[in-house]
Amino acid sequence: MEELEPHVDSPRILWVAALTIAVSVVAVLAVREVAVRVIHPAPSFTPLTLDPPIIDTFLCTVVAILVFVRIVFYPSSIRTWRRVAAVVLVLSFLPDVLLATSHDMGGGWREAAALMTMHVVVWAICVTLLPALAIPKHPPKTRALDRALSIL
């Protein structure tokens, strides 16, 4: 039996990308709102102001989508995508840890934990939505001329 290559349709990836970005930004803003109400960060702690989470989430989600589109053609693409995303998630914690230990901008571990929570939320959205919605469940339809002729 011939194994089908995973594929992503151009129109499909466009709406899936837009949905992933929108859901990620809304989720990050929800986490940010809870964090600001619970932690009461110093006004000088700019990572929890309104603009940086929106801009960072938008840019990083776009990069994640571009990486996903490249990885989807690899063997074991979903597994590879989730592994790459997990490594990137862990690496994304490094600036937050440095921010917490250096106490730059008046932040500490509580603020860093809020930022890390935002990272986890976006990671979960990307590793869930992109494979589930961007890769069709059914193989693409081939034209009759592309198929081998058989009388059986």
Least confident of 64-68, 101-105, 127-131, 147-151: 147-151
- pLDDT band with cut points at 50, 70 and 90 for residue 107: confident
The rounded distance, in Å, linking the Cα atoms of 72 and 7 is: 7
pTM, entire model: 0.82
Instruction: Please determine, for residue 4, whether its predicted confidence score (pLDDT) is greater than 80.
Output: no
The rounded distance, in Å, linking the Cα atoms of 81 and 64 is: 10
| Structure tokens that stand for 10 in this block | 């151009």
The residues, any chain, with a CB within 8 Å of residue 53's CB and separated by 6 or more, are 28, 29, 32, 47, 118
- For residue 142, the model assigns a pLDDT of 52
- pLDDT band with cut points at 50, 70 and 90 for residue 149: low
How high does pLDDT run on average in the chain? 87
Least confident of 10-19, 31-40, 50-59: 10-19
Interval 107-130 mean pLDDT? 96
Residue of 86, 88, 91, 68 lying closest to 78 (CA atoms): 68
Q: Is the dihedral of CA 21, 23, 29, 35 positive or negative?
A: negative
